[in-house]
């Protein structure tokens, strides 16, 4: 738990039991998780508004990052790199399995540089590859 506390403290967040529990869930996962899946896992221990606010805060503080789903939803995964408040640098690919529906960060596979026309400013790039994962293949 001390490592979780260190993560929270290093981002300027107060250590609470709720934040520890949610952060621990992300540490246990090898795949991304949606807010509704997180709520289901936690049961009635933590209400949905608190889960929503905690996820939003974790994204803002660079603890987790958002992954856009092919159905318009959002999943979240733990930031492996050191992200900073308001600035995520996740230039890696994401893979969603069409069989098990799990979404995985492919951190060693980077999004190639994209040159935008003059006047455009990149804020975020999301690439979701869909196919069959090794477990389902």
Mean pLDDT split into 10-residue runs, the chain, 137 residues: 84 93 93 94 89 94 89 88 57 91 89 90 86 94
pLDDT of residue 110: 82
pLDDT of residue 82: 59
Greatest alpha-carbon pair distance for the chain in Å reads 50
All domains in the chain, ordered by first residue: 2-131 (1.10.10.10)
Tokens of 83: 């992200």
| CB 19 within 8 Å of CB 54 | yes
Between CA 5 and CA 78 the distance in angstroms is 15
pTM: predicted TM-score of the whole model, two decimal places: 0.83
pLDDT of residue 104: 92
pLDDT of residue 123: 79
């Amino acid at each position: 738990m001390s490592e979780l506390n260190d993560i929270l403290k290093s981002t300027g967040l107060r250590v609470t039991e709720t934040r520890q529990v949610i952060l621990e869930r992300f540490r246990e996962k090898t795949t991304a998780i949606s807010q509704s899946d997180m709520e289901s896992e936690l049961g009635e221990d933590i209400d949905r508004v608190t889960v929503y606010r905690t996820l939003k805060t974790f994204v803002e503080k660079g603890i987790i990052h958002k992954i856009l789903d092919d159905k318009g939803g959002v999943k979240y995964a733990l930031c492996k790199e050191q992200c900073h408040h308001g600035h995520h640098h996740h230039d890696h690919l994401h893979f969603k399995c069409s069989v098990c529906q799990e979404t995985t960060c492919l951190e060693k596979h980077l999004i190639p540089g994209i040159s935008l026309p003059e006047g455009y400013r990149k804020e975020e790039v999301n690439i979701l590859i869909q196919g069959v994962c090794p477990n389902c293949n």
